[in-house]
Structure 1
Amino acid sequence: MNYTHWLLMPLTLFAIETAASTANVGPLKTDNLTPSSLKVAQPSTQVLEQGLYAVENRNNVLLPGEVDVQDLLPSSGESQVPPYGANLFAGGYETERVDDLNDNYLIAPGDKINLWLWGAVNYSDIVTVDNQGNIFVPEVGPIKVANVQANQVNALVTRKIKQVYTHNVNVYVNLLTATPVSVYLTGPVIRPGQYAGMASDSVLYFLKRAGGIDGERGSYREIQILRNRKVIASIDLYDFIQQGHLVSPSFKDGDVILVKPQKATITVTGGARNPFRFELENPTETGNQLSAYAKPLAKVSHVGVVGNRHDGPFSLYMDYLAFQAFELKDGDKVLFNDDLHAQVIDVQVSGSYLGPSYFAVDKRTRLHDLLSNIEIDPKLANYQSIYLLRPSVAQKQKEMIEESLNRLERSVFTAPASSDGEAAIRAKEAEMVMLFTERARQIQPLGKVIVSDQGAVANILLEQGDTIVIPNKTDLIQVGGEVLMPQAVVYNPEATLDDYIAWAGGFTDRAEDNRIAIVRANGLVEFESNHSIQQGDQILVLPKVDTKTMQSVKDITQIIYQIAVAANVAIK
């Protein structure tokens, strides 16, 4: 079998098909191209297109092409970025109670203890820890249990009792209930005050009862627990968020949970997994320390910093490596940015071709550069009728169809009615329009770009996601739409358009027989019925809108044509 590469002819015609017009092609003059001049461009190792160019700006004077980093960050009027850890107080866990007592709970006055003695002496009672921290056992006397852990009280009481009953006496002691404690919360919390809880409850429980920490004033990194005006524990919630470490002291009546004022903060936006307002442990920290909290995405290449120093406001834009050593201070705003645009795009090949179907090429590659590296079998491939499928064009076609449908709905639903009979007709028309627009919105345009005509191929610049379609040579003509028997018919050079329609059973009652869409192998859509039929063409008979029942005939007909051009579909 004889395989060959593309032989590109001089460009004479180029057009991009859209859903707004039925005129698909137009002349475009270019210089002649020769196969020897077509080479695949090599990916560049340098960034030639910088999506953003911003520099240090201390005097508010920008050169042409520069962008102040301040413009990229949230303005003062925008909603505040939440503090890191604010979601700790989003749940409803303050309503959840634990049935079992904490083994590390310290016995306090008012607690109830179940006591059993059997053997030489039988005794059973529920005793209460008195104000001096003792329980009283007959014939034994007071036993001090205050500040003893719950899992150790059995061993302590048993040892004390057996000092009196040395033989044939068994002892079992169990903490039955714990006395609630009253804890005070103060500082920058939402609802400071006095709250009841169990001594074994965590500091998070009491903070949640108080509404959480005030995100604008309170510190997540310095929470003190005071007992008799002395600090017995200091808690950094960042340790709990990142490592799961949480100091859990046993609370007593009168303990105070004091949330200290917020320390220096830095706001993080942009390409980070944790875009929050971070509180610094020290007055200044480096970009490397902030990155450990913010977790910037792997694609981040540059960092913008906006803030104030002793000499006034500033804005800096630096690469990510330089940011690691940069010194950050209170009030700084940091933007992690992906500013290295991909220099390689992915292009797919579809239809009749040999070799791979995906190509990674330089973003400056044109169609001829790629075609010169695609092998085909000229006996199977219709290489003179190639076209592109482009996602950006499909999206634009979808938007234009949607705009036309919205305009149709507005014209129908806002049309006045002068009588009850006309109002009934309008209501029926609106119902039919709703069914039509609902179905029309489900159509997905193809995004065809017409690049060939009579063997000439336009050397257009390729885009990310383009699909180059090389049609297969075929001897069939597809006949569809409003015909009785949609089917494929063998091409006959002597046959006319009416012959192919007749072979498909003829028109249906709803067919618009005056204008029939002919979809060429190169993707071009024509509506002139006097054109000859060629191999690989698709004949599409469109439906007709009944002028007796529909007032918006012109708008609906236009949308039907738009959809036929954009998606090769005859919607009823």
Structure 2
Amino acid sequence: MANPSSLPGAAGFSLQSDTDISQTPLPPSEQYQTQSRSGLLLPGEAAISDLLPASGEELPPPYGANLFAGGYETERFDGLNEDYLIAAGDKLSIWLWGAVNLAEVVTVDNQGNIFLPNVGPISVIDTPASRINDVVTEKIRTVYKKNVSIYVNLLTATPVSVYVSGSVIRPGQYAGIASDSVLYFLKRAGGIDSERGSYRSIRVMRQGDTVAQVDLYAFMREGTLKNINFKDGDVIFVEQQKPTISVSGTVKNPFRFEIETNEIDGSSLVELAKPYAKVSHVGVMGTRENGPFSTYLTMETFRSYTLKDGDKLIFNDDLRAQILDIQISGSYLGPSYYAVSKSTRLHALLASIEIEQPLADYSSIYILRDSVAERQKEMIEQSLQRLERSVFTAPASSDGEAAIRAREAEMVLAFTERARKIEPLGKVVVSDNGQVANILLEQGDTVVIPLKSDLIQVGGEVVMPQAIVFNPKAKITDYIAWAGGYTERANYERPLIVRANGMIEFGDNAKLQAGDQLLILPKVDAKTMQAVKDITQIVYQIAVAANVVLN
């Protein structure tokens, strides 16, 4: 067990560094703040203005708009609300047994009474459904004092007709029952108009007087909704939309919020928008007395900032990480993950990694980097697009040639479809002849310390791809023979060798080393394919980027 830094003679390079490495996250640097703009353009403001919706662009939907997305107006509740008030036309089922037997369904008349033989009229108007049994029983007991049991049940509620007016999609008159919620009637009317209507100021009026005020924000945020017993002729009036503030970015609620006054502080808006914990800055764009403006604030400053009608906000995660997450792969001891400073170089990290000297090929270290893999993917895609354009736009001078080109196009499409599924490795070659380059690390890098191997991997266009024990006296042709020889499609003139450090070499004169990978690439038939050069180039690109052979 040894550390590479203690083996300068064997490795041929020194890994000493002044950079401190820790397996725990390093403290981030001090967060920066930018002040509000006052005639000067501060860093970040131009980008924020580009991200926010400009005048005339579509704004986010109002908070609560999805309340009316479902089809719940078609769902009816079979039971009755216990707070429902008995009204004319309701039906009651009454049972008496014992000294007197009676089973009768009675209807509440226009005067609010029910009538029972030998008992007379009983007033039940505006009695809550939960108390109807007690009220009727108390009256019957005045006549039948003993040996009579009584049970009263509300069977049906009389439908009511409610008007829905104001800023709704389909104002009009809608039927329901008195215990239906205000949401039911609003949904019957098509919901609140998202451009004009208020979700915070909804009035229920009875004979011109307001009997209830509804704020749907309370329902959206806390699940509370007023129980209202509607009566015939009630009016649900949705008032005009209040001042609004539009929110986008890294928040849980990217909506357009109504505010009850013309101003609101940032802290109150944060309670509505629910930004994620990683948010560091807020961009604000709007109009004041002096004209349009935009500013970029830290979250701390934003909480006390005064917002006004029409302001547009974007919540941003704009603090750059001061640490890098680095993965270790291959032959090593200890942890596989390191959190290091963003200025850390490779030697400083390697000095902290323990290895077993007889097993680890520390002179062939390489890095897998996401940014390199993405660039390799882009280059392959560009080559594939050029290939497709050249094939699909190739002229044909006869019907026979046109048929050949159509067949060629089918083969090219099949080839490009498979080629696009290849994922490049993003290898960065950092070692050669025992020397390791001291490059800066990037976020997400995987440092690979290869395991020493006594094998040669032979693949591609050979009869029997396999791993063969390294023989220092053998040539490339010997390994090909041991793998069964070339296939009919093999391009035997330019074998590809992938070294343990990720280096690529071509040619049959190269000398193989233990741990190498020998790939025989396919040869494109010039008789059947016009775009031989383009296809061959792509095959080589894929072999280099992903270490695989694509036929």
Which TM bucket (shorter chain)?
A: over 0.9
CA distance in 1, matches of 2:493, 2:297: 65
1:174 and 2:153 aligned? yes
Do 2:164 and 2:189's aligned partners in 1 also have CA atoms closer than 8 Å?
Answer: yes
- AA of the residue aligned to 1:379: P
Q: Describe the SS at the equivalent of 1:384.
A: helix
Do 2:373 and 2:424's aligned partners in 1 also have CA atoms closer than 8 Å?
Answer: yes
Q: Deviations over 1:324-354 (max 9, x none)?
A: 2222222222222212110100112222233
Q: Describe the SS at the equivalent of 1:155.
A: helix
Unaligned regions of 5+ residues in structure 2, if any? none
Aligned to 1:16: none
Counterpart among 509, 515, 518 of residue 497 in structure 2: 518
Counterpart among 241, 253, 259 of residue 280 in structure 1: 259
1:133 and 2:116 aligned? no
Do 2:34 and 2:42's aligned partners in 1 also have CA atoms closer than 8 Å?
Answer: no
Do 1:5 and 1:374's aligned partners in 2 also have CA atoms closer than 8 Å?
Answer: no
Do 1:104 and 1:150's aligned partners in 2 also have CA atoms closer than 8 Å?
Answer: yes
Q: Describe the SS at the equivalent of 2:267.
A: helix
CA distance in 1, matches of 2:102, 2:457: 100
1:545 and 2:524 aligned? yes
Q: Deviations over 1:79-104 (max 9, x none)?
A: 11111111111111011111122222
- AA of the residue aligned to 2:459: G
CA distance in 2, matches of 1:155, 1:253: 26
| Aligned-residue identity in percent | 64
CA distance in 1, matches of 2:508, 2:20: 41
Task: Please provide the CA RMSD for this pair.
Answer: 2.5
- AA of the residue aligned to 1:570: V
Do 2:201 and 2:214's aligned partners in 1 also have CA atoms closer than 8 Å?
Answer: yes
Distance 1:255 1:516, change over 3 A: same
Aligned to 1:426: 405
Q: Deviations over 1:34-67 (max 9, x none)?
A: 655553478575259x7xx8642343x4368864
Distance 1:75 1:93, change over 3 A: same
CA distance in 2, matches of 1:461, 1:8: 21
Q: CA deviation at 1:214?
A: 1.7
Aligned to 2:340: 361
Q: CA deviation at 1:438?
A: 2.6
Do 1:6 and 1:376's aligned partners in 2 also have CA atoms closer than 8 Å?
Answer: no
Aligned to 1:227: 206
Do 1:7 and 1:35's aligned partners in 2 also have CA atoms closer than 8 Å?
Answer: no
CA distance in 2, matches of 1:2, 1:460: 23
1:295 and 2:244 aligned? no
Counterpart among 361, 368, 377 of residue 382 in structure 1: 361
CA distance in 1, matches of 2:252, 2:44: 30
CA distance in 2, matches of 1:39, 1:176: 82
Distance 1:234 1:530, change over 3 A: same
Counterpart among 241, 262, 275 of residue 241 in structure 2: 262
Out of 94-103 and 166-175, give the one that drifted further. Answer: 166-175
Q: Describe the SS at the equivalent of 1:375.
A: coil
User: Higher relative contact order at CA 8 Å, sep ≥6: structure 1 or structure 2?
Assistant: 1
Q: Describe the SS at the equivalent of 1:511.
A: coil
Aligned to 1:39: 19
CA distance in 2, matches of 1:208, 1:35: 71
Do 1:450 and 1:522's aligned partners in 2 also have CA atoms closer than 8 Å?
Answer: yes
Q: CA deviation at 1:144?
A: 1.4
Aligned length: 546
1:104 and 2:86 aligned? no
Unaligned regions of 5+ residues in structure 1, if any? 13-32
- Please list, as runs of the form range in 1=range in 2, the aligned pairs for 1:33-182 lying within 5 A after superposition: 35-36=15-16, 38-40=18-20, 43=26, 45-47=28-30, 55-59=35-39, 61-62=40-41, 67=46, 69-182=48-161
What is the TM-score normalised by the length of structure 2?
A: 0.92
Do 2:124 and 2:132's aligned partners in 1 also have CA atoms closer than 8 Å?
Answer: yes
Q: CA deviation at 1:256?
A: 0.9
CA distance in 2, matches of 1:523, 1:239: 61
What is the TM-score normalised by the length of structure 1?
A: 0.89
Distance 1:515 1:69, change over 3 A: closer
Distance 1:68 1:451, change over 3 A: closer
1:244 and 2:223 aligned? yes
Q: CA deviation at 1:112?
A: 2.0
Aligned to 1:28: none
CA distance in 1, matches of 2:315, 2:44: 20
CA distance in 1, matches of 2:72, 2:281: 40
Do 1:308 and 1:331's aligned partners in 2 also have CA atoms closer than 8 Å?
Answer: yes
Q: CA deviation at 1:304?
A: 2.2
Do 2:461 and 2:486's aligned partners in 1 also have CA atoms closer than 8 Å?
Answer: yes
- AA of the residue aligned to 1:216: E
Distance 1:63 1:147, change over 3 A: closer
